[in-house]
C-alpha cells in the first residue's frame, strides 16, 4: 500500500515539474486581470500530471482485476477525453459548448459502463449527471492556490474509505497524486492546474462516488458531507448568476472562496475549506451505519449551515464580486 501511494505521488510530482518546464517554454501563462484571482503571471497545465498518475493506476488495476475492466476502461477513456479537451483549451481558448459536448460524451461512456456492470438505471443516470456536474464544478472552483487539489485529495480518501478492491486503490491513487502536485501549487503557486487537470479530476471524483454508490447503496450519501464545500459554493453561485440573467458559462470572480480570498489571501481560504471538508470526512466516518432517516436529516442540516456560511461570506464583498468575471 505504501509503495502504491509513493508511486502515484512520485508520478504526479515528476509530471508537474515537467509540465512547468513545458509551460514556461511555450509561454503558457495565466496573466493577472479582473477575471483572475492571482497577482503574477503563472504557468498553467500542471494538473495533467495528476491525470497521468490516475491513468497509470487505472491500467494497472484493470490488468490486476479483470472484473473491473469495463468500468476502469470507461473511466480511463472518459477522463482522457475530459483532460484532452481541457489541454486544448489551455493552449488556445475553446467554445464552452465544445467542452461541454466532450464532457457529455465522456459522461455517456461512463454511464453506459455503469449500466452494464450494475444494471441499475438510477445509478447510470447518476453517473451521467455526476460526472458532468463535478467535471465543471472542479473547473469552476479551481481559482486560488491549492483549493482544487486539496479538496480532491480529501475526496479520494473519503471515497477510498467507502470503496473496496480496485476502487479503494484508485481513490488512494487520486489522493496520492494530488499530494504530489500540491507542493507546486500551495501555499505559493509555481504552476496552476489548468483546465486539463481540474476537469479530469472532477470526473475522477464523480466516478469514484458513483461506484461507491453502486457498492454501498444509500450509505454512499455520506459522501455529500465532504463534497459540500464545492457543491454549495459552485451551486449557489451558479444559481445566483442565472437568476440575475448573467452569462453564467463565462469566467467570473463571484464564488464565496474568491470573495473571501480577496480579503484574507489564498492560504487562509484554502485551509478553511480543507478544515470544513475534514470535519465532513470525520462526521461521515463516525456516523456511518446510522439510519437512513438520521443520515438525510444530518446532511440537510449540514447543507443548511453551509448555505448560511456561503451567504455570510458573500455579503461583505458583494459589490466587488460583481465588478469582474472569472471561474
Using the 8-state DSSP alphabet, how is residue 31 labeled? P
Query: For the purposes of burial, counting CB atoms within 10 Å of the CB of 165, is it exposed (0-12), middle (13-18) or buried (19 or more)?
Result: middle
Beta-bridge partner residues of 43: 29
pLDDT confidence of residue 38: 58
**147 SS3 class:** helix
The CA–CA distances, whole Å, from 253 to 32, 143, 189, 311 equal 13, 9, 18, 15
pLDDT confidence of residue 316: 57
**Residues in contact with 297: Cβ distance below 8 Å, sequence separation at least 6, in sequence order:** none
pLDDT confidence of residue 326: 38
Per the structure block, which three cell numbers stand in for 265? 489571501
Whether the CB-CB separation of 37 and 143 falls below 8 Å is answered with yes
pLDDT confidence of residue 33: 55
Whether the upstream peptide bond of residue 103 has omega within 30° of 0, thus cis, is no
The CA–CA distances, whole Å, from 312 to 14, 133, 143, 233, 309 equal 40, 25, 20, 12, 5
**Residues in contact with 32: Cβ distance below 8 Å, sequence separation at least 6, in sequence order:** 38, 39, 40, 41
pLDDT confidence of residue 278: 98
> What is the pTM for the complete model shown?
0.92
pLDDT confidence of residue 248: 80
pLDDT confidence of residue 324: 37
- Helices 292-314 and 266-287: crossing angle, nearest 10°? 170
The CA–CA distances, whole Å, from 229 to 8, 147, 266, 282, 302 equal 26, 11, 16, 14, 10
The per-residue pLDDT string of the chain (327 residues; one tens digit each, 9 = 90 and over) reads: 899 999 999 999 999 999 999 999 988 887 765 555 555 788 999 999 999 999 999 999 999 999 999 999 999 999 999 999 999 998 888 889 999 999 999 999 999 999 999 999 999 999 999 999 999 999 999 989 999 999 999 999 999 999 999 999 999 999 999 999 999 999 998 999 999 999 999 999 999 999 999 999 989 999 999 999 999 999 999 999 999 888 887 778 889 999 999 889 999 999 999 999 999 999 999 998 889 999 999 999 999 999 999 999 987 544 444 333 334
Place of cell 501511494: 5
Amino acid at each position: 500500500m505504501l509503495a502504491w501511494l509513493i508511486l502515484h505521488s512520485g508520478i504526479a510530482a515528476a509530471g508537474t515539474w515537467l509540465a512547468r518546464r513545458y509551460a514556461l517554454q511555450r509561454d503558457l501563462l495565466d496573466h493577472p486581470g479582473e477575471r483572475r484571482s492571482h497577482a503574477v503571471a503563472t504557468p498553467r497545465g500542471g494538473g495533467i500530471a495528476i491525470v497521468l498518475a490516475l491513468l497509470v493506476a487505472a491500467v494497472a488495476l484493470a490488468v490486476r482485476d479483470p472484473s473491473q475492466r469495463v468500468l476502469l476502461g470507461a473511466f480511463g477513456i472518459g477522463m482522457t477525453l475530459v483532460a484532452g479537451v481541457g489541454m486544448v483549451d489551455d493552449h488556445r481558448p475553446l467554445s464552452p459548448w465544445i467542452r461541454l459536448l466532450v464532457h457529455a460524451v465522456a459522461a455517456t461512456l461512463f454511464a453506459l459502463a455503469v449500466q452494464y456492470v450494475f444494471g441499475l438505471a438510477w445509478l447510470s443516470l447518476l453517473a451521467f449527471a455526476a460526472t458532468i456536474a463535478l467535471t465543471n464544478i472542479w473547473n469552476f472552483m479551481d481559482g486560488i492556490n491549492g483549493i482544487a487539489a486539496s479538496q480532491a485529495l480529501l475526496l479520494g480518501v473519503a471515497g477510498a474509505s467507502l470503496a473496496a478492491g480496485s476502487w479503494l486503490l484508485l481513490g488512494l491513487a487520486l489522493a496520492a497524486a494530488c499530494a504530489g502536485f500540491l507542493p507546486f501549487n500551495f501555499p505559493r503557486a509555481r504552476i496552476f492546474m489548468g483546465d486539463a487537470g481540474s476537469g479530469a479530476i472532477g470526473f475522477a471524483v464523480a466516478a469514484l462516488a458513483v461506484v461507491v454508490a453502486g457498492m454501498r447503496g444509500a450509505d454512499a450519501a455520506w459522501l455529500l458531507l465532504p463534497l459540500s464545500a464545492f457543491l454549495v459554493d459552485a451551486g449557489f453561485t451558479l444559481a445566483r448568476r442565472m437568476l440575475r440573467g448573467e452569462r453564467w458559462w463565462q469566467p467570473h470572480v463571484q464564488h464565496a472562496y474568491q470573495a473571501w480570498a480577496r480579503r484574507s489571501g489564498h492560504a487562509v481560504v484554502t485551509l478553511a475549506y480543507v478544515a470544513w471538508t475534514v470535519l465532513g470526512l470525520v462526521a461521515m466516518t463516525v456516523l456511518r451505519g446510522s439510519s437512513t432517516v438520521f443520515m438525510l436529516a444530518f446532511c440537510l442540516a449540514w447543507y443548511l449551515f453551509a448555505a448560511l456560511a456561503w451567504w455570510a461570506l458573500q455579503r461583505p464583498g458583494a459589490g466587488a464580486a460583481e465588478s469582474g468575471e472569472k471561474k
